[in-house]
Amino acid sequence: MTPLALLGVVSSAIFSGTSLLYATLGEIVGERSGVVNLGLEGVLLVSAAAGFAASAASGTPYLGILVAMIAGALMNLILGYLVVSRRANQLASGLALMFFGFGLSAWIGRDYVGAKITGLPRLTLPGLAGLPTLYGSLLRFDPLIYLVLPTAALVWWVLFRTRWGLSLRAVGEAPDTAFAAGRNPGRIRYRALLAGGLLAGLGAAHLSIAYAMNWTEYMTAGRGFIAIALVIFSKWHPLRAIVGALLFSGAVAFQLLLQSSGVQVSPFLLNTVPYLLTLGVLIIWGGRRRNAAPASLGRVYQGAE
């Protein structure tokens, strides 16, 4: 295996893993507050369609990114209304949101199938300008890719080093106790969903505006569910999610490399490895409850008022 081929795998894993990581971070924020969003697939689709449509209509990808983020936040607020304000079942509400996303994204995107947009510019880091062009071209990334690691660090910092994050996690573990301590669980869950929607929107924007640069119906192809699996894999921790996202997207890139070097492995079987690995990791952790899911995850907070 040549260094160039290896670099190619890493580069393509970074490209396809970025949207996954943003979406995973968004889901982590929501789940840490106790709300599981099974409709992430639909949220991503609507954001990707809205962001792409805005880019195509306005000619600027940056407006598209903004619109995608707003769309993600609005979608999550629908979930918030159902599960927080109306105290509906989280799993059923999430699945309903997913089907809503299937429909709405097809509707938004119907005039933009095959449309052309200007994607995000690719930038080379200053220190890497001296590399040979072949290597250099593999290391030219768009701004959203450069921003994803700082974003993960920021999410970690907010969740684990700020008062806001402490409240959020407290609500995710024990909403009644948090309420007794003067927090408002409903409002905190709304805010967590809002932040999570913005992050999911960023991921979707990267998918349709920067990575694929087009819109096709159901283009997320299961990424929402992959992100939900990644949240479990990363034990609800933003920094571990980085490793997870690279591993999941790396498996796809790695199979291309195997094929080019003559090893015949079915891409479909290789695709299943990360999920089976996740399941394996969960089994090894076994019944150990430490570092596991937020205690109130998926439960309806009945409230005390």
Alpha carbon 50 to chain centroid distance?
Answer: 17
Tell me the CB-side half-sphere exposure of residue 38, using CA atoms within 13 A.
Answer: 12
Closest contact distance (angstroms) between CB of 85 and other proteins is 8
Q: Which amino acid is at 17?
A: G
Query: What per-residue string of b and e applies to 32-57 under the rule 16 or more CB within 10 Å gives b?
Result: bbbbbbbbbbbbbbbbbbbbbbbbbe
The one among 78, 120, 148, 242 contacting other proteins by CB under 8 A: 78
- CB nearer to other proteins: pick between 79 and 207: 79
Interface map 92-121 toward other proteins (x if CB under 8 A): xx-xxxxxx-xxxxxx--x-----------
Interface map 32-71 toward other proteins (x if CB under 8 A): ------x---------------------------------
Residue 67's CB is within 10 A of a number of other CB atoms, namely 23
Q: Which two tokens stand for residue 178?
A: 């948090």
15 vs 35: CA distance, rounded Å: 29
What residues contact 17, with CB distance under 8 A and at least 6 apart?
245, 246, 248, 249, 250
The one among 268, 290, 304, 305 contacting other proteins by CB under 8 A: 268
Interaction of residue 75 with other proteins, rule CB under 8 A: no
Closest contact distance (angstroms) between CB of 234 and other proteins is 13
The one among 127, 283, 290, 305 contacting other proteins by CB under 8 A: 283
Interface map 213-252 toward other proteins (x if CB under 8 A): ----xx---x--xx-xx--x--------------------
272 vs 251: CA distance, rounded Å: 9
Closest contact distance (angstroms) between CB of 165 and other proteins is 24
Interaction of residue 287 with other proteins, rule CB under 8 A: yes
Using alpha carbons, select from 172, 190, 291, 163 the residue that is nearest to residue 237. 291
126 vs 195: CA distance, rounded Å: 32
Residue ranges in contact with other proteins by CB under 8 A: 38, 78, 81-82, 86-93, 95-100, 102-107, 110, 217-218, 222, 225-226, 228-229, 232, 266, 268-269, 271-272, 275-276, 278-279, 282-283, 286-287, 293, 298
